[in-house]
């Protein structure tokens, strides 16, 4: 019986190694191109809502965080040239687009059959607005491909009542009872003066 023995020289081994690496790099490169190549948006995005209504906010008090979901229902990856607030940097709204904070964004990519989240917040100075119903819009693209989602917030001026701070920065406290060890149980707060008068001119926001 004849025995066949294959002998690989260092040169042959190196050739196989180089060929393997080349094939692997080609595979990775092709995969990357498939994942990240994108076409320009054609104005066919869809949204979880056409208007985002934020709850009533009081002057200079930040709102809760709201979200909008943007869908790319096409079979192709797309790039949206512009996403941002209609009033730009002058807007009282703030955005977070796919993890990036700001007010305007460029070349926002959405993979095929995928979506992204936009988070919305606002802090409004009542003295800087002419209408208590503050509005803006999130703009997607421009021209024939322009799409918009409205933002609406009611802002109110108010009287703010809150505990004072001493010279060391400690917040005023009040005693509300005793602990099981007999010590005073205190919380941040304050007592209203006996002659405090509440009017109906503005709402009152009381912090404890």
- One domain for residues 55 and 141: yes
pLDDT digits (tens, 9 = 90+) for 29-42: 544 444 557 788 88
The pLDDT, as a whole number, for residue 23 is 61
Tell me the pTM: 0.68
pLDDT bucket at 11, cuts 50 / 70 / 90:
low
User: How many domains does the chain contain in total?
Assistant: 3
* Token pair listed for 120: 């919305």
Q: Are 161 and 58 a contacting pair, CB within 8 Å? A: no
Average pLDDT score over the chain:
85
- One domain for residues 49 and 151: yes
The pLDDT, as a whole number, for residue 92 is 97
The SS3 call for residue 58 is strand
Q: Is the dihedral of CA 82, 87, 90, 93 positive or negative?
A: negative
Higher-confidence residue of 123 and 5: namely 123
- One domain for residues 67 and 16: no
The SS3 call for residue 96 is strand
- Average pLDDT (55-72) is 94
Higher-confidence residue of 76 and 38: namely 76
Domain that holds residue 131: 39-156
The pLDDT, as a whole number, for residue 54 is 94
Q: At 92, which CATH number?
A: 2.60.40.10
């Amino acid at each position: 019986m004849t025995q066949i023995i294959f002998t690989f020289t260092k040169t042959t081994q190196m050739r196989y190694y180089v060929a393997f690496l080349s094939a692997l790099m080609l595979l990775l490169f092709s995969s990357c191109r498939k994942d990240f190549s994108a076409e320009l948006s054609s104005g066919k995005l869809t949204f979880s809502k056409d208007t985002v209504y934020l709850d009533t906010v009081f002057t200079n008090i930040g709102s809760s965080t709201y979200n909008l979901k943007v869908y790319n229902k096409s079979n192709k990856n797309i790039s949206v040239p512009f996403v941002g607030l209609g009033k730009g940097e002058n807007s009282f709204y703030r955005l977070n687009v796919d993890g990036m904070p700001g007010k305007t964004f460029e070349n926002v990519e959405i993979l095929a059959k995928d979506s992204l989240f936009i988070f919305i917040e606002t802090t409004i100075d009542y003295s800087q607005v002419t209408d208590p119903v503050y509005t803006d819009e999130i703009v997607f693209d421009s021209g024939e491909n322009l799409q918009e989602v409205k933002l609406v917030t009611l802002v109110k001026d108010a009287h703010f009542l809150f505990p004072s701070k001493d010279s060391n920065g400690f917040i005023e406290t009040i005693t509300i009872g005793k602990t099981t060890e007999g010590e005073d149980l205190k919380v941040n707060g304050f007592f209203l003066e006996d002659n405090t008068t509440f009017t109906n001119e503005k709402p009152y926001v009381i912090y404890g």
